[in-house]
Amino acid sequence: MTPLGPLEGVALLGAARHLPGPPVDNTEALRLLPGHRDATPERLAFAAAGVERPLGLRARHWVHRPGDALAPWAEASTADLAVAAARAALTDAGLRARDLGLLLATTSTPHRMTSTLSAAVGAVLGTTAPAMDVRTGCAAGLFALQTAATYLQHAAGPVLLVAAETFSKVLPPDHKMALLSLGDGAAALVLGRRDGARLHALALKTDGRLGGLITTDGALPPTESERVRGGYRLSGAPEALAEVLPEKYAEAIDAVLPASSVAPALFVPHQTSRPLIERVAEDAGVPEERTWTAGVGDHANIGSAGWVAALAAARAAGRAAAGTELLVAAVGGGMSWGAARWRC
């Protein structure tokens, strides 16, 4: 991997996350499974604890009950979640939508087959800034960060980067780990120029040969036969995916760590499971107290919004103030991966 950078002046001006509805705890999620629907409260509690202890997964948020018939006009869409996060991030930055110079959106679960999520968000916000989508799975936020940072070298900005997912609408309702580990949510960053801020380095890579490890393999436009087959629900090879994730994180992080002699004050990885985050942090030499893991328990894996939501939460907690040295990393389906060293 050949990192991009340094890019001067790339600053975090605002951030926010949006998690829809009340949290769904492990007990509620497990009750959806055929083998747990009639389980006693004691058995469910035991099973729920068996998920939280090793994986750090306590809750997730859903706009749709997995397995139920879809109700597009009655349920929140990916665009709805994105708009909520975007508005909150703009408020945090003290800016209005009409101030934007560029709008970037990321998702793996778009609300429409054609057009773009970014254009729909911009229309609701009330901006005519150029808008574009970035589709690289859970790593898409880093690809969008590169686009935003490059733009900011030539324009004042600001840039709105919004990520949103509604995995609940494509979850296989009989797959235990999918139900427990995936959630819905959105997050947004407002990026602009500020003296002293610096994107030291950002490294990205894609290998489409690994795309089948996590996918929805139904062809588009949708067909009834593919719907019945389950072609529009998540599928893949989770065991093989788990095997390659650590090496992809390591490759990306190794590519950007030397870009700054200052140790990162905070590591903000994609929020997947506690064991994976801890292994990646250990391999990178980042101590536990400098690794953000709160999102795993709060909302589980929310795809491209994962590390963006984690950074927003860290900022709200006072851990990512202006000038903080960050290490950010994510691996996503497609398969794409990346990392960044960033003085925000």
- Whether 229 is in a domain gets the answer yes
Query: Any idea how long the chain is?
Result: 344
pLDDT of residue 2: 83
| 56 and 126 assigned to the same domain | yes
CA–centroid distance for 249 within its chain: 15
328 Cβ contact list (under 8 Å, min separation 6):
142, 145, 267, 268, 269, 307, 311, 339, 340, 342
Which among 1-10, 18-27, 84-93, 172-181 has the top mean pLDDT? 84-93
Interacting residues of 305 by C-beta distance below 8 A, sequence separation 6+: 17, 85, 106, 141, 163, 164, 165, 185, 186, 187
Residue 5 in any domain: the answer is no
Residues 118 and 211 occupy one common structural domain = no
Confidence of residue 56 (pLDDT cuts 50, 70, 90): confident
Please say if the pLDDT value at position 38 is more than 70. no
pLDDT tens digits, one per residue of 71-90? 888 999 999 999 999 999 99
Task: Let me know whether 311 and 190 are in one domain.
Answer: no
In percent, the amount of the chain with pLDDT more than 90 equals 67
Q: Does residue 218 carry a pLDDT above 90?
A: no
Is residue 163 domain-resident? yes
What is the count of structural domains for the chain?
2
Q: How far apart are CA 330 and CA 339, in angstroms?
A: 6
Residues 46 and 155 in one domain: yes
**How much is the pLDDT for 265?**
95
Q: Are residues 204 and 159 in the same domain?
A: no
Three-state SS at 305: helix
Q: Kindly state the DSSP code that residue 301 receives in the 8-state scheme.
A: B
Q: Is residue 2 part of a domain?
A: no
Confidence of residue 243 (pLDDT cuts 50, 70, 90): confident
177 lies in the same domain as 274: no
DSSP string, 68-134: SPP-TTTS--HHHHHHHHHHHHHHHHT--GGG-SEEEEE-SS-SSSSS-HHHHHHHHHT--S-EEEE
Question: What confidence score (pLDDT) does residue 36 get?
Answer: 67
Among 125-129, 184-188, 227-231, 254-258, where is mean pLDDT lowest?
A: 227-231
pLDDT value at 214 more than 90: no
Let me know whether 28 and 132 are in one domain. Answer: yes
**318 domain-assigned:** yes
Residue 194 CB-half CA count within 13 A: 17
Q: Please determine, for residue 125, whether its predicted confidence score (pLDDT) is greater than 80.
A: yes
Are residue 168 and residue 220 in the same domain, yes or no?
no
How high is the pLDDT of residue 177? 82
**186 and 283 belong to one structural domain:** no
Task: Report the pLDDT value the prediction gives residue 51, as an integer from 0 to 100.
Answer: 75
Q: How far apart are CA 270 and CA 288, in angstroms?
A: 15
Q: How far apart, in whole angstroms, are the C-alpha atoms of residue 243 and residue 331? A: 12
User: Do 187 and 49 share a structural domain?
Assistant: yes
Distance between the two ends of the chain, CA-based, in angstroms? Answer: 23
What is the pLDDT, as a whole number, of residue 194?
96
Choose the final residue of a domain: 196, 229, 250: 196
For range 227-248, the mean pLDDT:
82
| CATH number of the domain encompassing residue 40 | 3.40.47.10
Mean pLDDT of 97-126: 95
pLDDT at 35: 67
Residue 3 counted as domain residue: no
Tell me: do 171 and 205 sit in the same domain: no
Token look-up 């990393």 returns 329
Query: Residue 311 has which token pair?
Result: 């950074």
pLDDT at 231: 82
Q: Are residues 19 and 168 in the same domain?
A: yes
Report residue 211's pLDDT band, with 50, 70 and 90 as the boundaries: confident
Q: What is the mean pLDDT of residues 153-181?
A: 91
Residue-number span of the structural domain to which 279 is assigned? 200-343
Which of 133, 167, 196 is the C-terminal boundary of a domain? 196
Q: Is the pLDDT reported for residue 34 higher than 90? A: no
Q: Say yes or no to pLDDT of 196 above 80.
A: yes
The pLDDT tens digits for 284-309 are: 999 999 999 988 889 999 999 999 99
Confidence of residue 1 (pLDDT cuts 50, 70, 90): confident
Calpha distance 333→260 (Å, rounded): 29
Percentage of residues in the chain having pLDDT higher than 70: 98
The last residue of a domain, from among 168, 196, 224: 196
Query: With 80 as the cut, is the pLDDT of residue 172 above it?
Result: yes
Average pLDDT, whole number, for the chain?
A: 91
Strand-pair partners of 102: 159
